[in-house]
């Protein structure tokens, strides 16, 4: 399925297929296509450069090494025009944060707002989003908006790393509604001190927050340069046309799929081992050049942290439909125009306050992706891959060592699902996560731990005509006492195969203490002592075909 080339915003999708074009029209269309492609890359490069500044100036391994951050550019309406090649679960959800900030605050030149509240556009509390307007000389309203989102390794709460087995959001850390951290270019030191007083590692948090502000400043500089070179009207016109082009590309793809309603369901494992899992159900209705994604029938919001909000669900759906397009579609708000999402309030895919949310962003988002892909596989069996590992294998821990606090968070890769085109990749982050690993050297330099083993989990991928990718084995030897939290999944049932392929092997968590092997549940909070070894074996991807 090949989408049409970019065309002016007022061109209909299939008009004038056989009509003769004037000489000026024939000349104009290629020129507009070239200019749109130019602006697409100019705008994306701004988001990418924002990310580079954020990474290079940050303090934490989570941002500097794992690259757990995202940056994006928005038009004057707060709609997405460009995203960096960052975290899908961040990028699809951030527009709701931008909207929440614009609704709550009267933004002025030099202002930067912070927000992490999942009920005001955030995802979970460790993800702090910075939002800023971009004013041009003499303008009374913002010409653009910029935002970045970074996962902070600790924002307080009941467990180090702020990814606890909580039952309500108040236990998960500091909750920030839309509020100005910078007014007229001047940092609000009192607000910053309030934030730092509620976290375990204030020096690291301050460094990462300042990196987010520097990232915003770089984006402002580049947008002003863009307008200085091309003019505001031309910039706005190309932003609108890029959004329209993204919409047309997805509509063209949807028209190539058979009409109908396709259903799929899967489960998230319960926080309490042995208890019934939580179902996530979807019905995807394809109707020509539009689609409805209906999660009716999914589990009610739960007592633990597995709840996702509408922002997370939207991000997962947006990611899947972007992946349907064979070409490299511009990642703009136009992607979602042909798609209607039905996510009943008070369910695990649209939880309401005061639900705990820590794992919805990282675990439930993966299962939402799995069920939407599973439904679409019935419409396009040769297009959709088998399930990937389906979990981010979240590990957080913290404590004190030599009189200083430490807190750490990371996600651990797994196997990618196989597809009609070949075997799945091994030891890679998939779907809603796009982070890197923490290098062993950086990890051991910063924390009182040693990595005893870091290797591919051979044979964990599902068999089939094309085999699923293998997961990872990562062993952590603690050199100081610590409190540990694991939020993982696919420990009871492995990722599904596709078209007759076998499921990947489930993951496994084990604590090695004094020669004994102690099984650790998929979701667990526990204490370790010096010389304990935590072994995490991540799931392999599903196989494809027989």
Return the closest-CA partner of residue 238 out of 46, 84, 33, 71: 33
Question: How far is the CA of 409 from the CAs of 20, 68, 94, 240, 406, in angstroms?
Answer: 60, 10, 21, 39, 11
43-73 b/e with 16+ CB inside 10 Å = b?
Answer: bbebbbbbbebbbebbbbbbbbbbbbbbbbb
Specify if 331 maps to a domain. Answer: no
* Full domain range(s) for residue 82: 27-244
Among the three residues 213, 244, 275, which one is the final residue of a domain in this structure? 244
Instruction: Count other Cβ atoms within 10 Å, centred on residue 297.
Output: 14
pLDDT value of residue 89: 84
Do 198 and 49 fall into the same domain? yes
Tell me whether residue 300 is exposed, middle or buried, using C-beta atoms within 10 angstroms of its C-beta: 0 to 12, 13 to 18, 19 or more. Answer: exposed
For 520-544, give the secondary structure using H, E and C: ECCEEEEEECCCCEEEEECCCCCCE
Q: Token match 């949310």: residue?
A: 357
Q: Name the phi and psi angles at 31, rounded to 5.
A: -65, -40
Q: Would residue 339 count as lying in a domain? A: no
Decide which of 197, 215, 244 is a domain's last residue.
Answer: 244
Residue 119 forms part of a structural domain: yes
Phi then psi dihedrals of residue 485, to 5 deg? -130, 135
Residue 453 lies in a domain: yes
**Rounded Cα–Cα distance for residues 7 and 525 (Å):** 54
Average pLDDT, consecutive stretches of 10 residues, N- to C-terminus, the chain (546 residues): 32 30 46 90 96 96 92 96 87 92 97 96 95 94 97 96 96 98 98 97 97 98 97 96 96 97 97 92 98 98 96 95 90 95 98 97 97 97 96 96 94 97 97 89 94 98 98 98 98 97 98 96 97 98 97
Angle at which helices 23-57 and 202-230 cross, to 10°: 160
Please report how many Cα atoms fall inside a 13 Å half-sphere around the Cα of residue 515, on the Cβ side: 0
Final residue in a domain of this structure, among 219, 244, 269: 244
Contact 378, 264 (CB under 8 A): yes
DSSP 235-251: HHHHHHHHHHHHHHHHH
Nearest to 98 by CA among 114, 85, 82: 114
Give the chain's domain count.
Answer: 2
Instruction: Answer yes or no: are the C-beta atoms of 97 and 122 closer than 8 Å.
Output: yes
Within the chain, what is the greatest distance between any pair of CA atoms? 82
Asked, for residue 496, whether it belongs to a domain, the answer is: yes
The model's pTM: 0.92
In a domain, 272, yes or no: no
């Amino acid at each position: 399925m090949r989408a049409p080339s970019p065309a002016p915003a007022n061109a209909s999708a299939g008009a004038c297929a056989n009509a003769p074009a004037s000489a000026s029209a024939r000349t104009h269309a290629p020129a507009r296509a070239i200019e749109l492609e130019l602006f697409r890359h100019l705008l994306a490069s701004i988001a990418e450069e924002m990310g580079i500044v954020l990474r290079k100036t940050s303090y934490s391994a989570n941002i500097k090494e794992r690259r757990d951050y995202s940056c994006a550019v928005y038009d004057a309406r707060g709609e997405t025009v460009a995203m960096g090649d960052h975290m899908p679960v961040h990028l699809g959800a951030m527009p709701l944060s931008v909207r929440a900030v614009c609704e709550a605050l009267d933004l002025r030149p030099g202002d930067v707002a912070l927000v992490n509240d999942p009920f005001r556009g955030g995802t979970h509390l460790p993800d702090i989003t910075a939002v800023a307007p971009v004013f041009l000389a003499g303008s009374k309203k913002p010409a653009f908006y910029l935002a970045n989102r970074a996962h902070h390794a600790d924002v307080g709460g009941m467990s180090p790393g702020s990814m606890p087995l909580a039952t309500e959001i108040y236990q998960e850390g500091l909750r920030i509604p839309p509020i100005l951290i910078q007014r007229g270019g001047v940092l609000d030191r009192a607000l910053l001190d309030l934030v730092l007083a509620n976290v375990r590692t204030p020096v690291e948090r301050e460094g990462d927050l300042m990196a987010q502000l520097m990232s915003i400043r770089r984006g402002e500089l580049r947008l002003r340069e863009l307008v200085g070179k091309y003019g505001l009207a031309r910039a706005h016109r190309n932003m609108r046309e890029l959004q329209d082009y993204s919409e047309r590309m997805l509509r063209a793809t949807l028209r190539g799929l058979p009409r109908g309603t396709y259903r799929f369901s899967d489960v998230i494992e319960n926080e309490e081992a042995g208890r019934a899992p939580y179902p996530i159900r979807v019905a995807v209705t394809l109707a020509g050049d539009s689609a409805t994604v209906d999660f009716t029938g999914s589990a009610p919001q739960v007592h633990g942290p597995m709840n996702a909000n509408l922002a997370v669900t939207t991000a997962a759906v947006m990611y899947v439909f972007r992946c349907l397009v064979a070409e490299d579609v511009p990642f703009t708000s136009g992607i979602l125009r042909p798609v209607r999402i039905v996510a009943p309030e008070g369910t695990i895919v649209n939880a309401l306050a005061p639900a705990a949310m820590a794992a919805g962003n990282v675990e439930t988002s993966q299962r939402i992706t799995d069920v939407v892909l599973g439904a679409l596989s019935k419409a396009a069996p040769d297009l959709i891959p088998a399930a990937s590992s389906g979990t981010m294998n979240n590990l957080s821990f913290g404590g004190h060592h030599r009189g200083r606090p430490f807190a750490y968070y990371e996600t651990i890769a797994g196997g990618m699902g196989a597809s009609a085109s070949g075997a799945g990749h091994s030891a890679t982050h998939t779907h809603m996560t796009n982070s890197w690993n923490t290098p062993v050297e950086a990890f051991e330099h910063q924390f009182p731990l040693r990595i005893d083993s870091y290797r591919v989990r051979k044979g964990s991928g599902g068999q089939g005509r094309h085999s699923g990718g293998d997961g990872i084995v990562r062993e952590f030897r603690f050199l100081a006492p610590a409190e540990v939290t694991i939020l993982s999944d696919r420990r009871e049932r492995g990722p599904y195969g596709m078209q007759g392929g076998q499921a990947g092997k489930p993951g496994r968590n084990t604590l090695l203490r004094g020669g004994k092997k102690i099984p650790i549940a998929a979701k667990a909070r526990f204490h370790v002592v010096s010389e304990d070894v935590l072994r995490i074996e991540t799931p392999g991807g599903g196989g494809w075909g027989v």
